[in-house]
Structure 1
């Protein structure tokens, strides 16, 4: 009995070497990772059935007198002989992994093959193998193979199945004296070795599963990191600048040799290999991309021919192309290119597919935000349309009076009125306008009001010239001045007493805009509500202040600030803080206006 242990251990070592080699194969690991369909179950039956066959062939022959014969390949057993092997180990692992169908299949292969080798235990060993497969298959339904306790559960099941085989040999194999002698020799070694082999085999299986869990966790973390870094760019929609920045982020986090992002007609950004002919802002050059745009389904190419690039010797030989969709409509593609097909593995495919869905969601959110802003701007424009007719009628009356008494001033006011309404049209068309254009709007408005009420109001400007090209939301300062004229000053106020000061200066990375008046101030019970909501009072509703604050919140978020400070009888100061970098506006926005 003692002499059998090292021989059995040698056989287990041979099977474990095969198991370790299998664990390195992608196909075997894929079968272990995923939910088992019929294809995977058949694969498991064949794999672990082969383990059972190898165990039979490499078994140690035990003769009727208890003598042991060790040979490399056991192809036949004498009538009075038996085999000590590790067959049950493969049957148990197969059943635990694949359930009743796999367990039964593995048991049949291993058991029938053992029966063909002969010996007086052929029937009992064959039957025990089949029964072990069925039993462990049903037990396998209740065991979560990835849990730590499953390791010891499998060892216990392997020991019990081997012990049950010893019992079946005693019940079925004849003569009984030979069965007793055989079990006395092989019982303890086979139970111990099969339990030990099951333990090691389960360690291999669980290491595969743990590696998969770690890989999935890393892939998930990577996907979230990419999504977080690309969110600011995809929120801007699909344009060359945002796509170039997003592609650089994706390139950093993936194994791809090149990243490309397109809309439906052209390449918006391409970085990495192949940039000599996959050129940004040129039309699409691969048939695979067009197919994905047409079908709305991911495309995978594992050869240069499948990509169908316009350049025959393109260095890119594999790719995965993902549709970018907004409201179920494909608006572009994300493409990950590889120089060698072998680099495009299953993990990259899963990561790319996840990124495609995340980016599509980001684009949908960007579109929803854009629509929300358009709606808000429409509300603001509707408010402007209600206010301007009154202002227009008053201006026309003033100009009409001046046409007889001061034609030159009437002409000047007509020009100012033109500037005022052109500023309104510009504000209706654009998201941001240069600060100097907003100041022109203020000056035009005040010029007309001063013509109606000569000498009543004084405006002082303290503007940092470096800030004049910086963008601000339209209708930001002009409504503040209008509010001051309408509500801050009593009707009897005249001359220098009615003062409005507009300041613009830089504070670090922020532009500070301040509108200050020396008017009547705001009573404390209204101050907290103004800017946060509309209010009902004899002095007005606060709609203009509310709209300004809402637009600043929507455009800049936490980076923008709006604050009202007031002391009754002394005046009011409205302070607005905007991020300078976010608000930059190029000169072309103002090309149709004169700074004069």
Structure 2
């Protein structure tokens, strides 16, 4: 009878143990064992030990058994068979000697007041059991997280044996003979089951993490070549395809701070590459820099009412602690986000951020070298150089003043080329000097052929990518009007628009061929007078420096061409507008 009742109490403790072990916060506590974690464990197991006392089995002085659901108090002469030692032993093995001792003390104190201030020895015995179980457990586990099953049985038997010695000495050995065997079996079995459940769960969790790590590393290996190209539409599409292929998500997306770079899977008909980010969920993540999970369509807040995406996790991608974009993973239908998907998304975002940082650093170095090489090539380009020298040579014979002026312009062009090739950004004043030197040399060769005008509503101190204006002006000179010998007008316009400066170079030429206009700035083109490499280089630098919102745009017709891009305004820029003309 007593054995059956005790095992019923054991079932209560095991249910509580299962609920506890299933909680990720509790599992984190038992692994770390810091002072804060030990305090929380003391509180948790302290409640458990009080529950054990209150769900015990009352044994009268005549050794009859009384079953009551809750025992708030018992008579001085009565005894109690319960799972208190089981909880104390388990607390000691999980949290160590300190946790076991304090939990034992709490259990002993509660038992003392529960017995109407009788059985003060329980305070000493329970505390001693907690301390010795913890010390013995730490010694036997030998580098493992917990002792083995047989070691747990041994520790539990010793713990209950100590308790029985105190009970026999202070209460009587006839009671010990009645309860000793059931209590030893109860404590050994209960402690073993609790620790087995815990070790099994931790082992499965460890295996799951190993599988997740393997999957993440595999994804990392496959996505690395694309992410090192930078965060653009082409690389983002490849990355999203790889993630969707290797996971269970119904859709995967990548964005920069303003635009969707790629969206693969359900919803691709309205989450379109190159268009602004649509969902409030993604916008809030980009703005706050914190990951968010949406468990329903309302939380995603897609403006398209027909959108089938039902749950999502959106994680920011960081570059130098600044949010550069977001990784988005979606489910449709009744699928829900779990801790597994959340950990996977967080892990991928951290790795992708590192890959992007490495890729951008490499690309910036490469583009800086390309810009410098471009500048050096322009200086020693035989066609450009000999044309300038021939012009100066001719002027020396007819106009020494103009010849001296031409030499000064050539010197300025060389100097600004060298300076600009070494910097990621230069001032508008420096860029204008470079453009003016180039155009002045062209005007000396062809006095009436070109006219350059400026319309600038910004300070000379705003920063631009080097050779940005010069590349576009040179492109207009070389391609806009190949046969027209005069009245070729080029205009540079810089004006503020909300959060950006719009920078445009216009000409009144014959326009760009429709066959190549979509490729300009994105890939090299086969043309008799150039390959468009300078435009590709400039477009890549704009994307890396400022994001996809700053890429080159080409508006062309038979009446002329405008090439424009935009760069973000800084706080200081807004105070210095309308200073340049």
TM band (smaller chain):
0.5 to 0.7
Within 1, Cα distance between the matches of 2:337 and 2:303? 21
When the two chains are superposed, the root-mean-square deviation of aligned CA atoms in Å is 4.1
Q: Secondary structure at the match of 1:590?
A: coil
Alignment of 1:87-486 (within 5 A): 87-99=84-96, 102-118=99-115, 122-136=119-133, 147=145, 149-171=147-169, 173=170, 179-311=172-304, 314-339=307-332, 343-377=336-370, 389=382
Q: Secondary structure at the match of 2:525?
A: helix
Give 1:342 deviation, angstroms.
7.7
Give 1:246 deviation, angstroms.
0.8
Within 1, Cα distance between the matches of 2:84 and 2:255? 57
Aligned partners of 1:270 and 1:278 also within 8 Å: yes
Structure 1: segments with no counterpart, 5+ residues: 398-427, 429-584
Comparing 323-332 and 260-269, the one that deviates more:
323-332
1:334–1:34 CA distance, 2 compared to 1 (3 A): farther
Within 2, Cα distance between the matches of 1:586 and 1:324? 24
Give 1:387 deviation, angstroms.
6.8
Structure 2 equivalent of residue 517 of structure 1: none
Aligned partners of 1:303 and 1:341 also within 8 Å: no
Give 1:359 deviation, angstroms.
0.8
The question of 1:73 aligning with 2:69 is answered yes
Structure 2 equivalent of residue 515 of structure 1: none
Within 2, Cα distance between the matches of 1:221 and 1:257? 21
Give 1:247 deviation, angstroms.
0.8
Per-residue CA deviation, residues 456-504 of structure 1 (Å, 9 max, x unaligned), is xxxxxxxxxxxxxxxxxxxxxxxxxxxxxxxxxxxxxxxxxxxxxxxxx
1:386–1:272 CA distance, 2 compared to 1 (3 A): closer
Q: Secondary structure at the match of 2:316?
A: strand
1:74–1:127 CA distance, 2 compared to 1 (3 A): farther
Q: Which has the larger radius of gyration?
A: 1
Give 1:242 deviation, angstroms.
1.7
Structure 2 equivalent of residue 49 of structure 1: 46
1:390–1:289 CA distance, 2 compared to 1 (3 A): closer
Give 1:267 deviation, angstroms.
0.5
Within 2, Cα distance between the matches of 1:372 and 1:382? 15
Within 2, Cα distance between the matches of 1:35 and 1:58? 29
Alignment of 1:469-548 (within 5 A): none
Aligned partners of 2:75 and 2:115 also within 8 Å: yes
Comparing 305-314 and 243-252, the one that deviates more:
305-314
Structure 2: segments with no counterpart, 5+ residues: 391-420, 422-520, 532-581
Structure 1 equivalent of residue 526 of structure 2: 590
Structure 1 equivalent of residue 443 of structure 2: none
Q: Secondary structure at the match of 1:236?
A: coil
Q: Secondary structure at the match of 2:263?
A: strand
Aligned partners of 2:378 and 2:384 also within 8 Å: no
1:357–1:21 CA distance, 2 compared to 1 (3 A): closer
1:46–1:145 CA distance, 2 compared to 1 (3 A): farther
1:353–1:126 CA distance, 2 compared to 1 (3 A): same
Query: Could you tell me the TM-score, scaled by structure 2's length?
Result: 0.58
Within 2, Cα distance between the matches of 1:68 and 1:201? 30
Within 1, Cα distance between the matches of 2:109 and 2:275? 66
Within 1, Cα distance between the matches of 2:213 and 2:344? 8
1:194–1:119 CA distance, 2 compared to 1 (3 A): farther
Aligned residue-pair number: 401
Alignment of 1:5-44 (within 5 A): 5=3, 7-24=5-22, 28-29=26-27, 32=30, 38=36, 44=41
Within 1, Cα distance between the matches of 2:318 and 2:147? 45
Aligned partners of 1:236 and 1:242 also within 8 Å: yes
Within 1, Cα distance between the matches of 2:306 and 2:33? 41
Query: Could you tell me the TM-score, scaled by structure 1's length?
Result: 0.57
Per-residue CA deviation, residues 61-83 of structure 1 (Å, 9 max, x unaligned), is 44445x35263636254443312
Aligned partners of 1:259 and 1:272 also within 8 Å: yes
Within 1, Cα distance between the matches of 2:143 and 2:77? 40
Per-residue CA deviation, residues 393-442 of structure 1 (Å, 9 max, x unaligned), is 69x99xxxxxxxxxxxxxxxxxxxxxxxxxxxxxx9xxxxxxxxxxxxxx
Give 1:283 deviation, angstroms.
0.7
Within 1, Cα distance between the matches of 2:116 and 2:29? 36
Give 1:53 deviation, angstroms.
3.6
Within 2, Cα distance between the matches of 1:47 and 1:341? 35
Aligned partners of 2:137 and 2:155 also within 8 Å: no
Structure 1 equivalent of residue 82 of structure 2: 85
Aligned partners of 2:295 and 2:336 also within 8 Å: no
Aligned partners of 2:86 and 2:186 also within 8 Å: no
Within 2, Cα distance between the matches of 1:230 and 1:260? 14
Per-residue CA deviation, residues 361-405 of structure 1 (Å, 9 max, x unaligned), is 1112222222333355457557756875499869x99xxxxxxxx
Within 1, Cα distance between the matches of 2:274 and 2:379? 43
Per-residue CA deviation, residues 508-528 of structure 1 (Å, 9 max, x unaligned), is xxxxxxxxxxxxxxxxxxxxx
Aligned partners of 2:94 and 2:146 also within 8 Å: no
